[in-house]
Structure 1
Amino acid sequence: MEVICLEEPAFFALIDKVVERIREKQPVKEDKWISGTEAMSLLRIKSKTTLQKMRDEGKIRFTQPEKKIVLYDRDSINDYLEDFTYETFK
């Protein structure tokens, strides 16, 4: 058996490269259904009332698998934001 010795900086540089390669080969898949906190973060809002109003008005999709659990569709939030995107003047 061969033993390979590395200095600490070289070891951590090697670990960083390995992690980078793994991330390149397997991109992070985002969850379709997100929590209210994540939805508010994507929408850049701070009020749960505003989020509930958007849900009640049908502006964003949601599911409620249990009484106190509400999940929001990430794609519908992105679509909602795209609907209010304006092109700059050229």
Structure 2
Amino acid sequence: MNVICLEEQAFYALIEEVVYRLKEKNGTDQDKWVSNEEAMRLLNVKSKTTMQKLRDEGKVRFSQPQKKIILYNRESINIYLEQHARETF
């Protein structure tokens, strides 16, 4: 019997990758619009002011169905991240 040991962080990264691949394989679409909290998590942003700046500058697409509810377009967040990605050497 072989035993494989992983650090906790590597274990959770592996689990996230498996879940991602299963969703991709099964064609499970993610929500087109995400909440402010989810958008902040995806962008790794800690401040609502930064989110306001991204909206004001037109860098991320958003919808405001009600006065205090702001939803962000997941695809525009992914595009923003890709535009700011750096290639490795």
Which runs of 5 or more residues in structure 1 are unaligned?
1-22
Runs of 4+ in 1 over 3 A off after TM superposition: 23-27
Helix, strand or coil: the match of 2:64? strand
Aligned pairs for 1:6-85 (under 5 A) are: 26-85=26-85
Q: Secondary structure at the match of 1:58?
A: coil
Instruction: Look up the SS of the partner of 1:85 in the other structure.
Output: coil
Larger Rg belongs to? 1
Equivalent pairs, count:
67
Deviation at 1:44, TM superposition (A): 0.3
Matched residue type, 1:84: H
Q: Which residue number in structure 1 is paired with residue 6 of structure 2?
A: none
Provide the TM-score with structure 2 as the length reference.
Answer: 0.68
Secondary structure of the residue aligned to 2:65 is strand
| Structure 2 counterpart of 1:16 | none
**Structure 2 residues without counterparts, runs of 5 or longer:** 1-22
